[in-house]
Amino acid sequence: MASKNSDSLWGSRFASGPSSEMANLSKSTHFDWRLAKYDLLGSRAHAEALAGKGYLNPEELTELLKAIDQLESRVDKGSFKPKDTDEDVHSALERGLIEIAGADLGGKLRAGRSRNDQIATEIRLFMIDAAEQIQSLLISYIEQLTIQAETHMGVAMPGRTHFQHAQPVLLAHHLLAHAWPQVRNLQRLEDWRGRASLSPYGAGALAGSSLGLDPSLVAEKLGLRAPEKNSMDATSSRDVASEFLFICAQIGIDLSRFSEELIAWSTAEFGYVQLSDEFSTGSSIMPQKKNPDIAELTRGKTGRLIGNLTSLLTALKGLPLSYNRDLQEDKEPVFDSVDTLVVVLPAINGMIKNLIFNTQRLEELAPAGFSLATDVAEWLVRQGVPFKNAHEITGQMVSKCEELGVGLEDLTDKQLAEISKELKPEVREVLSVSGSIKSRDGVGGTALPRVLDQLMELRKIAPRTDLEN
């Protein structure tokens, strides 16, 4: 029979402690210890709330806060760590506090709170701090894209749909198309923060507290907006965590899409871009290789981010109210997604910063694949031809070029007239990449003035730091 664990936060009604098998399954200090900082923050705020209602006198409050400070110092230095007998971060830190303050004073802190409302609050505090770090890295990502766009402002390239040549666009326009999704992710994180900044503290195990403590005081001390409205919801819901994981996954997906392009662009077949030696790897057997490992790892780790979201959603599905131990599974996916983005984003930012674009190759391929055909069709529309007819005429023009093995711009006046009397020699004014790009000056278009508009907006979000001083 296992012996009772004197350090446990529960067990007085049990004849024995948990079996070793039960203890091993239940133990969470190997991952939730990174919440120690937030647990101690909550303990300080909770001590203030207890003192506010007279459960701690001023001297006791002073001594308890001093003991929490000492414990935090030991945690920071690594001199206090969880023991094998500690079930979780909460039990470990209470043990540490009692070691410093004594059982009588240290034991008072548990009144009016539960691990249920503690952990629900602590994971929010962790995610709020992590969100700030991720936002900073996303801003750097946007900055690197805008710098590359600014550097290659006049360069044209093939724009694609279905991965086939479609219409020419500015390289800057294409690069900035990868910036805007991350702007939306920044907005998502900011919007999420409003929901995450409500405090479950004071909800107790599920029904609230009968001690009259002020949860608003605790929320204020923790930098949160207000207490949650429903104690059961506060302790048993993790939609704030799943929403956070969705945003992390979406960030990864948007990074992965650009990574996929960079992998293709760096091949000999495309030849669009050359990777920096610092941000690529070689082969153990093929000396000539330069591999886009950062892009590949980003693409691969995005699956991990999606998996973390799926893991938590699956754990939450079908859980009855209120708290269930299944909710212990919320932390590792959150920690892993944060850790993943914090290592991926600096790497891909460095890769983007050091990309070398083959501008000659991009310019050469911009008109390939009859990418100016839409310009011809729209020119015909401006001449009064219904678009249905214009589309058919342009299609016949492409077919003729394929037959002859020439480009649209190579057709003679006679050949144009044979296709349609509407194809006058003046159509040649749109048969240039520069003309095509210049014409697309509507809002959001690839024309240079519109790209400059984008840059101005993005600079408000991600100013250039490389020009400071």
pLDDT confidence bin for 25, thresholds 50/70/90: confident
Q: Which member of 16, 73, 136, 283 is catalytic? A: 283
Is residue 90 flagged as an active site residue?
no
- Predicted local confidence at residue 11, as pLDDT: 58
**Among 40-54, 161-175, 270-284, 289-303, whose mean pLDDT is lowest?**
270-284
**Pair type for strands 226-227 and 198-199:** parallel
Is residue 30 flagged as an active site residue?
no
Please state the length of the chain.
Answer: 469
DSSP string, 404-452: HT--GGG--HHHHHHH-TT--GGGGGGSSHHHHHHH--STT-SSHHHHH
pLDDT confidence bin for 224, thresholds 50/70/90: very high
Q: What is the pLDDT of residues 35-54, one digit of tens each?
A: 999 999 999 999 999 999 99
What predicted TM-score, i.e. pTM, was given to this entire model?
A: 0.92
Would you say residue 246 has pLDDT above 50?
Answer: yes
Note whether 58 and 71 are within 8 A (CB): no
**Among 3-7, 368-372, 410-414, whose mean pLDDT is lowest?**
3-7
**Among 169-173, 282-286, 460-464, whose mean pLDDT is lowest?**
282-286
Q: Which member of 162, 231, 259, 280 is catalytic? A: 162
Q: Using alpha carbons, select from 437, 451, 465 the residue that is nearest to residue 179.
A: 451
Per-domain residue ranges for the chain?
A: 20-111, 116-364, 373-431
The mean per-residue pLDDT over the stretch 362-390 comes to 94
Q: What are the structure tokens assigned to 359, written together?
A: 């501008």
Q: What percent of the chain has pLDDT over 90?
A: 88
- Predicted local confidence at residue 167, as pLDDT: 95
Q: Using alpha carbons, select from 340, 327, 183, 149 the residue that is nearest to residue 249.
A: 340
Would you say residue 2 has pLDDT above 90?
Answer: no
The mean per-residue pLDDT over the stretch 380-390 comes to 96
Q: What is the pLDDT of residues 71-94, one digit of tens each?
A: 999 999 999 999 999 999 999 999
- Predicted local confidence at residue 1, as pLDDT: 38
CATH for 116-364? Answer: 1.20.200.10
- Predicted local confidence at residue 94, as pLDDT: 96
pLDDT confidence bin for 100, thresholds 50/70/90: very high
Mean pLDDT of the chain: 94
More confident residue, 279 or 129: 129
**Among 3-17, 216-230, 307-321, whose mean pLDDT is lowest?**
3-17
Would you say residue 330 has pLDDT above 50?
Answer: yes
Q: What is the pLDDT of residues 124-150, one digit of tens each?
A: 999 999 999 999 999 999 999 999 999
Q: Which fold has domain 373-431?
A: Ribonucleotide Reductase Protein R1; domain 1 (1.10.40)
DSSP 8-state class, residue 319: P
Would you say residue 17 has pLDDT above 80?
Answer: no
The mean per-residue pLDDT over the stretch 277-283 comes to 77
Question: Could you say which architecture CATH assigns to the domain 20-111?
Answer: Orthogonal Bundle (1.10)
C-alpha span between 163 and 123 (Å, rounded): 42
C-alpha span between 163 and 264 (Å, rounded): 11
Q: What percent of the chain has pLDDT over 70?
A: 95
